[in-house]
Structure 1
Amino acid sequence: MSKLLYIESSPRKARSKSIAVAKTFLDEHKATHAADEIVTLDLWDTQLPEFDGFTIEAKYQVLNGQEFSAEQQLAWQTVVDICNEFKSADKYVISLPMWNFGIPYKLKHYIDVIAQPGQTFRFDPATGYSGLVTGKPVTVIYARGGAYGSESAKGMDLQKGYMDLLLGFIGFTDVNSILVEPTLGAPDDVAAIEAQAMKQARSVAANF
């Protein structure tokens, strides 16, 4: 049995294209991987620590190889617990809309908590950075109002580019991307785009 962690970052819920395609993916995965456990992490219903005070101090203690104070230890343990929850999964699905050409701030906050030295990456002076979350597949479902595949538009896509960079940095090499774009258009066109994304989602989920 494997554990699939589904990370949801849109607040639109029933009106969200990224969530609709993710649910299609998860339904197909349940049908084809009945023994797997699926855990949903709704970032709009999750309390995350602020990265200030003792928490940011603790991070720099880690970076400098120094001991924690009692307050720093307590603050850092909260971060470690969230990192451990993330790393406990065997496979991942992340759904997100594009906000202002990038990712929702709730997802950025989560990433800023889990992307930590000694937790999801390490640094060696001789070899540089290396990710610690390895050997696990991830599927990322992107919804965007516009289309960003052309030469003139792709420079504005700070959503998928950032996620590809971040996931690679912490160790992922098996990355599936499902694009739902453009979602701002004629209803029939959008419905066809969503249907195509759902078809791709079912195909990826069956072999995930």
Structure 2
Amino acid sequence: MTNVLVVKANNRPSTEGVSSKMYEVFMEEVKGAQDLNVTTFDVFAEDLPYFGQDLFNAFGKVQSGEELTDIEGRLLTAKQKAMDALTAADVVVFAFPLWNLTIPAKLQTFVDYVYQAGFAFKYDAEGNMINLMPEKKAILLSARGGIYSTPETAPMEMAVNYMRNVFGGVFGMSVEEVVIEGHNAMPDKAEAIIAEGMERVKAAAKSLSAVHA
């Protein structure tokens, strides 16, 4: 049995958000697969207070045995839930848009929770980074209305690039990417662009069951 964690990071309806539709298509494709245990983590539905000083205060209070405030307790609970979900997953699928050149803030908070030394990576005696999740796979399902795959625009794209660097580069996961782009830039071709992209989403989903059957 392969444990698949699907992190849904777009709260727009699928009629408006292409990455929301990618999520729905992926979920429909894996539905009923006997060899897959699929769990969804919706970052817009979860209680995910932003990463900041309150969390560091909570760490200190836990060590000293002091009572936590409400926000501190919520932060520790949310952080642990995200880490537990990632720990349990063999494959983690992220469905997210490019918003203002980067990922949604709620997805950033999820990443902040799990980006922890000793959990996702560590350093050896010489200061070299050691990946701690090389046995896991990440699938990035992302949509962007503009075109960010040209030499001129690629450096501006900080969503897929960021997620690849975190989960592939730092955590050590193997990374597969399914990107749909240009549907807003080329409205006359939008239907074909999206349809072709959804076929690639289906193929990514099917490969999970085929590999582990």
TM-score (norm 1): 0.85
Q: Is the 8 A contact 2:5 2:85 kept in 1?
A: no
Q: Which amino acid aligns with 1:16?
A: G
Write the distance in 2 (CA, Å) between the matches of 1:143 and 1:205: 17
Tell me what 2:84 maps to: 84
TM-score (norm 2): 0.83
Q: Is the 8 A contact 1:80 1:119 kept in 2?
A: no
Q: Which amino acid aligns with 1:181?
A: E
For residue 68 of structure 1, the aligned residue among 34, 38, 63 is: 63
Identity of aligned residues (%): 26
Q: Is the 8 A contact 1:132 1:170 kept in 2?
A: yes
Give 1:185 deviation, angstroms: 4.0
**Structure-2 change in CA distance of 1:72 and 1:96 (3 Å):** farther
Deviations 1:47-86 (A, max 9, x none): 1244334522466x7xxxxx92224998585333431222
What RMSD in Å do the two structures reach over aligned CA positions?
2.3
Deviations 1:163-190 (A, max 9, x none): 1111121121x21101111131454411
Moved more, 192-201 or 33-42: 33-42
Give 3-state SS (helix, strand or coil) of 1:38's partner: strand
| Unpaired segments ≥5 residues, structure 2 | 209-213
Alignment of 1:1-208 (within 5 A): 1-14=1-14, 15-30=16-31, 33-53=33-53, 55-57=55-57, 68-71=63-66, 77-78=76-77, 79-168=79-168, 169-172=170-173, 174-208=174-208
Q: Which amino acid aligns with 1:19?
A: S
Q: Is the 8 A contact 2:145 2:183 kept in 1?
A: yes
**Structure-2 change in CA distance of 1:54 and 1:153 (3 Å):** closer
Write the distance in 1 (CA, Å) between the matches of 2:85 and 2:39: 10
Q: Which amino acid aligns with 2:163?
A: M
Write the distance in 1 (CA, Å) between the matches of 2:126 and 2:81: 29
Q: Is the 8 A contact 1:8 1:95 kept in 2?
A: yes
Moved more, 134-143 or 48-57: 48-57
Q: Which amino acid aligns with 1:203?
A: A
Write the distance in 1 (CA, Å) between the matches of 2:120 and 2:67: 19
Tell me what 1:64 maps to: none
| Unpaired segments ≥5 residues, structure 1 | 62-66
Give 1:4 deviation, angstroms: 0.9
